[in-house]
Amino acid sequence: MTVAAAAQPTTVAARFSPGWITQLLQRYILHIVVIGLTVGWMLPTIGLLVSSFRPFALTKTSGWWTALTPLQFTFQNYTDVLGQSNLGQAFFNSFMVSVPATVIPVTIGAFAAYSFAWMKFPARNWIFLALVGLLAVPLQLTFVPVLSFYVNTLHWTTSDLEATGIPGLPWVPLWLAHAGYGLPFSIYLLANFFRALPSDLFESAEIDGAGTLTVFFRIILPLSVPALASLVIFQFLWVWNDLLVALIYVGGAPEVAPLTVNLADLTTSLGQGSNLLTSAAFFSMVVPLIVFLSLQRYFVRGILAGSVKG
């Protein structure tokens, strides 16, 4: 009893030691900072959502943070934007652009990254360095030569491709452009991930007589789901939210223009139609949010997997 009684003050004193208090404060400060950053990132989205349901007369006279006084919400903005802006066709066009423009660079990038990571061929490191260097090239430098090649050499204009009547053909220039812009990052990300995989797996597969394609499809791809999911998120969000590349290669024709071009056309030079932008913009965010939330468990794993080998 005496020993226990003597030890109790020491334990209590250790709990309230300066080091323990410092750790506690650091933990609470970290939580407060993370919560503050999360709220800060969410505020624009919350403001956009609230504004999309407010009457246009109130949005001109007060901010979205005053939406509860008075409490007035309406679905008129969504009704108007769905009925006046050809939003359904633009939504379909965005899918027709984003899905192939994501699948093509991810597929080609996976094959190329496997060759750079585990196959040996002349000038492999120099070629990989050149591909990584393409990440620093601004997209604007490529618009004139690529567009000239499409129009003057291949005769791929929007009107000519639409005249063929072949489904999906008018979006081919945009698919290839997005694939070319996304390939350097795709190869870089996947190659770093593939290099982090244990070499014992490949040696065992070679001993068992597995070929290159067998190793790729049976070993590489199943183990690379986190990296592939992260790449799909990056590429899909970039293509879905793109406006400049779509304007350059397909123009503003409503038959082929994606959702971003449609949203840009809602507001005239005099500002008319600005009340529809909030509802249309939030409507366009639904698909990216679904894609990110459905794959977010792989996101951090895919980004960090190639940073530490072992």
Write the burial class of residue 109 (CB in 10 Å: 0-12 exposed, 13-18 middle, 19+ buried).
buried
Residue 309 domain flag: no
| Domain match, 67 and 92 both | no
| Domain match, 299 and 221 both | yes
| Domain match, 42 and 89 both | no
- For the chain, how are helix, strand and coil distributed in percent, rounded to 5? 75, 0, 20
Confidence of residue 98 (pLDDT cuts 50, 70, 90): very high
pLDDT tens, position by position, 59-74 = 777 778 887 777 788 8
Q: Is the pLDDT of residue 11 over 70?
A: no
| Alpha carbons 158 and 147: distance in angstroms, whole number | 12
Domain boundary among 30, 47, 74: 74
Q: Is the pLDDT of residue 9 over 70?
A: no
Residue 33 domain flag: yes
Residue 103 domain flag: yes
| Domain match, 97 and 41 both | no
Residue 43 domain flag: yes
How many structural domains compose the chain?
Answer: 2
Confidence of residue 3 (pLDDT cuts 50, 70, 90): very low
Cross-strand pairs, 71? 68
Between 108 and 72, the more confident residue is 108
**Widest pairwise Cα distance in the chain:** 97
pLDDT tens, position by position, 167-222 = 778 899 999 999 999 999 999 989 988 888 888 887 888 888 878 888 888 888 88
Q: Is the pLDDT of residue 18 over 80?
A: no
Domain boundary among 74, 107, 127: 74
- Kindly give the interhelix angle for 87-118 and 172-195, rounded to the nearest 10 degrees: 40
User: 89 lies in which domain range?
Assistant: 84-304
Percent of the chain with pLDDT over 70: 85
pLDDT tens, position by position, 239-291 = 999 999 998 998 877 788 898 888 887 765 445 666 678 888 888 888 888 88
- Kindly give the interhelix angle for 277-304 and 18-52, rounded to the nearest 10 degrees: 140
